[in-house]
Chain A
Amino acid sequence: MSTGQRFIVSKAAVLGAGVMGAQIAAHLVNANVETLLFELPAPEGDPNGNVVRAIANLGKLEPSPLASASRLRYIGQANYQSDLGQLRSCDLVIEAISERMDLKLDLYQKVAPHLGAHTIFASNTSGLSIERLAQAMPAALRPRFCGVHFFNPPRYMYLVELIAASATDLSLLAALESFLVTTLGKGVIRARDTPNFIANRVGVFSMLATMHHAQRLGLSLEVVDALTGPIIGRAKSATFRTADVVGLDTLAHVVSTMAEALPEDPWHRYYALPQWMTALIDGGALGRKSGRGIYQKAGQEIHVYDVATASYRPQTGALDEPVAALLSGKDAGDKFAQLGASAHPQAQFVWAIFRDLFHYCAVHLTDIADNARDVDFALRWGFGWQRGPFEVWQAAGWQQIAALIARDIAAGKAMARTPLPAWVTRRSGAHAAGGSYAPAQDAEVPRSQLAVYRRQLFPDQLLGESAPQGTAIFESAAVRCWHTGDDIAIVSFKSKMHTISDEVLDGVLQAIELAQRNYAALVIWQSEPPFSAGADLTQAGKPGAVERLVAKFQHTTGQLKYSMVPTVAAVDGLALGGGCEFIMHCDRAVASLESYIGLPEAGVGLLPASGGCKEFALRAAQQARGGDQMPFLRRYFEAVAMAQVSRSAVHARELGYLRSTDRVVMNRFELLHVAKAEARLLAEAGYRPPREDRAIPVAGRSVAATIKVYAANLLEGGYISPHDFVIGSKIADTLCGGELEAGSLVDEQWLLDLERRHFMELLATEKTQQRIAHMLQTGKPLRN
């Protein structure tokens, strides 16, 4: 930084408590950043009435913008009339009011005198000119002004576009980028100050092209969604469900920005919504926020808008089998060639939307982005595409596709007549070993050299990039154990969904054994989420074999806890059942914010038997410190019996799966870095495993009976089934130490034996067998 001082955000403010502003404030407090949320003063009553309502509304949104409901109270309430003075103490101010230049300029003049000497002031505009906004600030403040564009919903969408104005202090921008990446856990793309920046410019063009070709080929809207969802590597919400979520009016606004600001654009005539969508907007059908848009809920069903009849009807259209077969083909190049050659309208459609997308990106790369990597990541992180446009193109054969596009341009089939830029024909792809193509340099440029990215040992990979493999220590069919050139061993699972099989247990045990002898610490880390979907249920065989496997699970978690080497679980995404129990037994867990941790065994008619119940019994005894264990046990019982899965790492701590000593990491790509640092710290502190407690006071049979009374009332009230009650009773007995008097002293093995016995008893019941079979067949729990 130019000042040589660290950039610290001790407090932030968000101006504008609309959908985006309030959710950005929520994400700031998710990251433990104290935040003031500003809105216009309410005309009557509490002057902060508008903000109070916006904050209350955050608690109702799904998926939740909050890591935990308890975070709500860290958002401070403020209004422009009486609280502007408080801006002085804010290091970062994000403006997120409505997208009107006049309102924004007016607000800037009002707040400018109140900003602190070092405050960064950033606009969350989705498309207005950052340069024009900067001009509204006094000259002295312009170096500290920039654009910071979050995507909706900001907690879950990884992308933030960072846009400099001409006077922006670039070192300050770098500091802000580091803050966004590490503290808020976002993926930052530097965008040019062009209308709608990168992701919306390309993403919205893609939607317009989709609508254009759908209309041309006479495809119904639900068929378009079937064709533009996961089958082509896009988000499940495809095109029109996405539009409903975004809001058709918002979409219209973004489109009109393009129409007004890009008069010379070769695709300008397509920068308009189709007539039918304008009619929907005029009729108040704005999407999810107004209860209807392109889709509408009709009882249990969801009806779709029919353009021809201008009314909603049941969804009847579907993907045609031959097209589905084509789309699921393995060879990407072959796929596009066949789609283009097919006479089937659905096939024609898919080829056409990709062709025009590729064409558009190739032509506009120079104006909107520094390089092709930024375009691809912007679409992946901002629109949930599995691959960016250049990656898809390149995977299908760069030159071959370029020739097909050129052919269609020449034939007048493409949406614009502009030829492909020369760099396209000169190259064999947008990405190569040296980096991604940057038109300004007419060369490949490497990734950002900003120090913050050194924390990402495994950054998100682009097509053709390979993750660093490290040095293998050993590798089996089930796990890979390796290191990154130092003395910390890492073990990663190779199974699907990282489930834990007999062979994975062998691998983990071997890794612990080797780490004890040759390494300072062991980290369990997966190259991508989930951390683990739990035990491999397909291995449930004969009772004797199952019991031996359960005992091996227990032995493995015991080793994670008591071996002579510190163990750290690096958690991201789902961590269920045995995966959760691994976490509970490691010396530390380092979990990304988006960790969904739980013990859902009850859903398949079982109970946690890899030490999960044992740990909860032990923790309750420790937390009660000789007093009443019931308040702790009741919470743990609810977590296990109701198969509660956390909705964030913060929530997992509240549920008791994570301990107060476990860490929450905001950026999943920094996970291994932090996990290794934590492992290093444990080793450096002269690691000794915890001393095994051989005198654990159990809650005993009366507490078990009291918990069962609670379950009996749920059963009698019809909230749970008789088999749920049986499972709940066994969980209660296990957590309370079995048929013992309160305060009886047992060791861990006693509790593990109880776990295993009750697990085997449940497994022998018909209803549990039905639950397991149902889960294996459908992937969903059976209530029986």
Chain B
Amino acid sequence: MSRVLRDAYIVAAVRTPVGKAPRGMLRNVRPDDMLAHALSAALARCPGLAASEIEDVIAGCAMPEAEQGLNVARVALLLAGFPDSVPGMTINRFCSSGLQAVALAADRIRLGEAEVVIGAGTESMSMVPMGGNKPSYSPQIFERDEHIAIAYGMGITAEKVAQQWSIARADQDRYAAQSHRRAVHAIDSGEFGEEIASFQLVERAPDLLSRKVVITQRTVSVDEGPRRDTSLEALARLRPAFAARGTVTAGNSSQTSDAAAAVVLMSEAALKRYDLAPLGRYLGYAVAGVPPEIMGIGPVAAVPKVLKQVGLRLADLDWIELNEAFAAQTLAVIKELALDPAKVNPLGGAIALGHPLGATGAVRTATLLHGMRRRAQKYGMVTMCIGTGMGAAGVFESL
């Protein structure tokens, strides 16, 4: 039985502000609560759509354990007050989990097996560290030499990319400074206003004098990562973080972060039924594998693959959200694919804005769709490298 693929439209794309981990503003916010907030906020942007009409919530999470364990998608949607009838699924493809969730949601619709599906992502790197709470590696890694790269930390892989693609320390630092500059400018220009659903923080602390629990509340609505005081000189002073004589520092690497995001997708029929205007159309998604020791180069394999699928050329793209895991790999990808630097991360990237692993794909989808719409641009892409050597890329059309 053959079917004709339908279109999948994005009607809402929202996110929390991104907090720094592990000591930032969202450090005490549970990732299930963050996701519940993103889900509620996304639904609120779709007047006329009842929660009961949502046929699935697919959420990405890179370290789905502890506070974001169990099935965080299902837990969060219940916390958000969605009815019991709405199912939920948590998926993991490390750093592309959020984008993968959007792609899976779109595919359910494109296949005609669902009308309304949410793709989302959540990650609290404050609560669940990179690698999880109890990392455990296979002894086979040391039994066969070709497996050793499974053991490498991301920083080591960035060093290898820097070496192989001759990305100098100074260029990495300059790129990092630019990321902060762009992000700060974007915040000051209100670029993120539409996509961010401000978050009401509630914190409980003991007052040892009055012997009472003191509850403080405040609303956060601005990303915490970008630094106004970053300078090339300050970046140049940092020591290598992963290799004794390396070039990759904490300053030219992405920040660890906390955030959640949700993207509501629906069919054309559903658009009409609920009388909603789409933000954009989902065009396609591809993922590809590369050697684990140079995982940062992943987009070089994924980007041509997805462009071929959707029948576009690089030059057709107006905006590329290329996740800045490290300045080294970002620059290597830009070099290898001959990307136009002006189109890459015009509002800054993960070095400034942060990289909440499993949420990042959904977060940057929201940034791309709102940004392109404001600029009346047409085609855009979200792409990233993925630990253990993969790349992912998704293409969207702004409407």
Contacts and interface: CB of A to CB of B under 8 A. Distances in A.
Given A708-B142, A712-B151, A729-B142, A717 B242 contact: yes
Contacts of A628: 134
A713 interface: yes
Specify the main secondary structure of chain A where it touches its partner.
helix
Interface in A683-709: 701-706, 708-709
B159 A705 contact: no
Interface string A708-749: 110011001111000000000100000000000000000000
Given A717-B243, A717-B246, A718-B243, A709 B137 contact: yes
A385 to B, nearest CB: 41
A630 interface: yes
Contacts of A716: 152, 156, 243
A560 to B, nearest CB: 34
B137 A705 contact: yes
Nearest to A742: B136
A702 B139 contact: yes
B135 interface: yes
Contacts of A703: 136
29 contacts: A703-B136, A704-B139, A705-B136, A705-B137, A705-B138, A705-B142, A706-B135, A706-B136, A706-B137, A708-B141, A708-B142, A708-B151, A709-B135, A709-B137, A709-B141, A712-B141, A712-B148, A713-B151, A713-B152, A713-B156, A716-B243, A717-B155, A717-B156, A717-B159, A717-B242, A717-B243, A718-B244, A718-B246, A729-B142
B211 interface: no
Interface string B216-245: 000000000000000000000000001111
B153 interface: yes
On chain B, which size bracket covers the interface? 20 to 34
Contact of B139 (A705, A712, A713): A705
B360 to A, nearest CB: 23
A739 to B, nearest CB: 8
A717 B244 contact: yes
Contact of B245 (A630, A704, A708, A718): A718
A624 to B, nearest CB: 12
Contacts of B244: 717-719
Contacts of A719: 243-244
B138 A702 contact: yes
A713 B136 contact: no
Interface of A: 628, 630, 701-706, 708-709, 712-713, 716-719, 729
Interface string B277-316: 0000000000000000000000000000000000000000
Contacts of B155: 717
Contacts of B243: 716-719
Interface string B133-175: 0111111011000001001110110010000000000000000
A706 B246 CA distance: 24
A630 B131 CA distance: 14
8 tightest CB-CB pairs across the interface, nearest first? A717-B243, A718-B244, A705-B139, A709-B151, A712-B151, A701-B139, A709-B137, A706-B137
Contacts of A701: 139
A705 B136 CA distance: 8
A729 B152 CA distance: 16
A161 B153 CA distance: 56
A717 B152 CA distance: 10
Contacts of B242: 713, 717
A638 to B, nearest CB: 16
A626 to B, nearest CB: 15
B79 to A, nearest CB: 29
Nearest to A716: B156
A702 B138 CA distance: 6
Nearest to A739: B139
Contact of B152 (A704, A705, A712): A712
Nearest to B244: A718
Contacts of B151: 708-709, 712-713
Given A712-B148, A712-B151, A717-B159, A630 B139 contact: no
Contacts of B156: 713, 716-717
Contacts of B134: 628, 630
B247 to A, nearest CB: 12
A716 B142 CA distance: 14
Contacts of A712: 141-142, 148, 151-152
A713 B159 CA distance: 12
Contacts of B139: 701-702, 704-705
A277 to B, nearest CB: 36
A175 B112 CA distance: 89
A713 B243 CA distance: 9
A704 B143 CA distance: 13
A709 B153 CA distance: 9
A716 B136 CA distance: 19
Contacts of A713: 151-153, 156, 242
A471 B137 CA distance: 58
B60 to A, nearest CB: 25
A702 B152 CA distance: 16
Given A705-B141, A709-B137, 6 more contacts: A701-B139, A702-B139, A705-B137, A705-B138, A705-B139, A708-B151
A630 B246 CA distance: 29
Nearest to B243: A717
A706 B153 CA distance: 12
Contacts of A717: 155-156, 159, 242-244, 246
A709 B246 CA distance: 19
A717 B245 CA distance: 8
Contacts of B246: 717-718
Interface in B177-219: none
B159 to A, nearest CB: 7
A630 B148 CA distance: 21
A708 B142 CA distance: 8
A719 B246 CA distance: 11
Listed residue (A628, A701, A713, A716) with the most chain B CB atoms within 10 angstroms of its CB: A716
Nearest to B135: A706
A719 B241 CA distance: 11
Contacts of A704: 139
A729 B139 CA distance: 12
A699 to B, nearest CB: 10
| Residue among B134, B137, B152, B244 with most chain A CB within 10 A | B137
Contacts of B137: 702, 705-706, 708-709
A704 B137 CA distance: 9
Contacts of A718: 243-246
B90 to A, nearest CB: 23
A704 B136 CA distance: 9
A729 B137 CA distance: 14
A723 to B, nearest CB: 16
Contacts of B141: 705, 708-709, 712
A43 B38 CA distance: 46
A702 B135 CA distance: 10
Interface string B120-135: 0000000000000011
B196 to A, nearest CB: 33
Nearest to B159: A717
A726 to B, nearest CB: 11
A621 B138 CA distance: 21
Query: Which of A705, A706, A709 has the most chain B CB within a 10 Å cutoff?
Result: A709
B340 to A, nearest CB: 34
B239 to A, nearest CB: 12
A712 B135 CA distance: 15
Contacts of A708: 137, 141-142, 151
A252 B136 CA distance: 62
A705 B150 CA distance: 12
A395 B273 CA distance: 108
A542 B327 CA distance: 54
A702 B142 contact: no
Contacts of A709: 135, 137, 141, 151
B139 to A, nearest CB: 4
Contacts of B142: 705, 708, 712, 729
